[in-house]
Structure 1
Amino acid sequence: MIRYALKCPQGHGFESWFQSAAAFDALKAAGHVACPECGDAKVEKSLMAPSIGTASKAPPSDREKVIADLRRHVEANSDYVGMNFAAEARRMHDGDAPSRSIHGEARLDEARQLIEEGIPVAPLPFVPTRRTN
């Protein structure tokens, strides 16, 4: 994906994302790129600074610290059940397994089904440690 800063002949500036430079050119040639303010399709790319990432040695942000703390807490206070998360959550909810804190992985359709059945689940903002290198 590529983001372009664009401008119409009336001076209205805006940004838009495209699959590639070729995709932008094809859409523009077909008249599908237009100014959102005035509708003019004579849009041109304008000068824009490239997006540059921060140095890898930058201190972690507050959000990263909170997520790291959450991960440590979850992993220390719950059982990792891997891809069996949906089945184990359902067994606990039905009384077929002892109730305890668990974490693991579930497909989106499995998670939706658990929620529809009234089984309390929540996504975690990290990948379990056991799945990372």
Structure 2
Amino acid sequence: MALKVYDLQCDHGHVFEGWFGSEDNYETQRARGLLSCPVCDSTNVQRKLSAPRLNVSHLRAEAQAPAPQGASRQAANAVAAPGGAQLAKLQAEVLRHIRGIIRNTENVGDRFAQEARRMHEGEVAERAIRGTATPSEQEALAQEGIAIMPIPAFLDDDRLQ
């Protein structure tokens, strides 16, 4: 049986692959709400337009540059590329892990800059926090040597609601 591989996208913009026995199988699963995004679990999933898969590996082999001097061709070209389904699974797992880390932080809200400074100066015990900071607060923290990292809204459950 030949499988149909479709590029799918959820309403949050996450793109992933779905493998189906037929067009009808895809439509039935979508209509019953059985399809879900591996990143955010949204069941609002649509099929994207996708180009047909073409076997052009022979063209890539012809275009490869020679290996750097002293390196074997095999070592110079060693890479890893998981298949589409593997990549979607890996992406989903990484994002679930990141969301878990974020969920296990204390949300200090707009007191973020103040709390980050207090921890940096040893006034309070270090702990994982998240919150909001203005651009000028973020710049001041960076100048003080306090490392911070923006969290995209789609990873923060508090901002998704």
Structure 1 length-normalised TM:
0.49
